[in-house]
Amino acid sequence: MDMKVYFLAIITFVTVGFYACEKQKSDPNVEQKLIGKWELKFSRGGFTGETKPVESGRSSVLAFKSKDTYQQIENGNVVKEGKYVLSKEKSIYSGGLETAISFNEVDTISKQQKKYVLSLRSDSLFISDNYYDGYSTLYLRVK
């Protein structure tokens, strides 16, 4: 009888281990959910963790036009546009694979493509630097 209990315990631990190591699956509809206009509300981070609300009278909008194009609009004027790429990257926040977005920007220090962790929840969009003391920005969907 003791041998059956040990065998069951081993099987249970192995099964739990496999599920714990399972990679996170991406939401296949994230690109469709992203399309639209998103208005910046605040950014937070840096060494001090300071929260910076959008200045009164200022408007900053990210507009995702199609599966891979975007515009950054400041006070009604397009200041930046181009293509974006979604991928899976290891997040410093969760330690797991999460959806990341890049806007064809190169990091001046590492000389590699900048990738931000993307979190999309109903009408909220969080875009965060994927390094310590980085910034996170909150955008709300424009209706």
Residue 60's domain is classified under what CATH number? Answer: 2.40.128
Residues comprising the chain, all counted: 143
- Predicted pLDDT at 3: 52
Say if 96 falls within a structural domain: yes
List of E strands, 18-96: 36-45, 50-53, 60-64, 69-74, 77-83, 85-90
Say if 61 falls within a structural domain: yes
- Predicted pLDDT at 5: 43
CB 87 within 8 Å of CB 115 = yes
CA atoms within 13 A on the CB side of 87: 13
Say if 18 falls within a structural domain: no
> How many domains in the chain?
1
- Predicted pLDDT at 137: 95
Say if 88 falls within a structural domain: yes
Give the pTM.
Answer: 0.73
Tens of pLDDT, residue by residue, the chain (143 residues): 455 544 444 444 433 333 334 344 445 588 889 999 999 999 999 888 888 888 888 999 999 988 789 999 999 999 999 999 999 999 988 899 999 999 978 777 778 888 999 999 889 999 999 988 889 999 999 98
Domain interval for residue 40:
26-141
Say if 2 falls within a structural domain: no
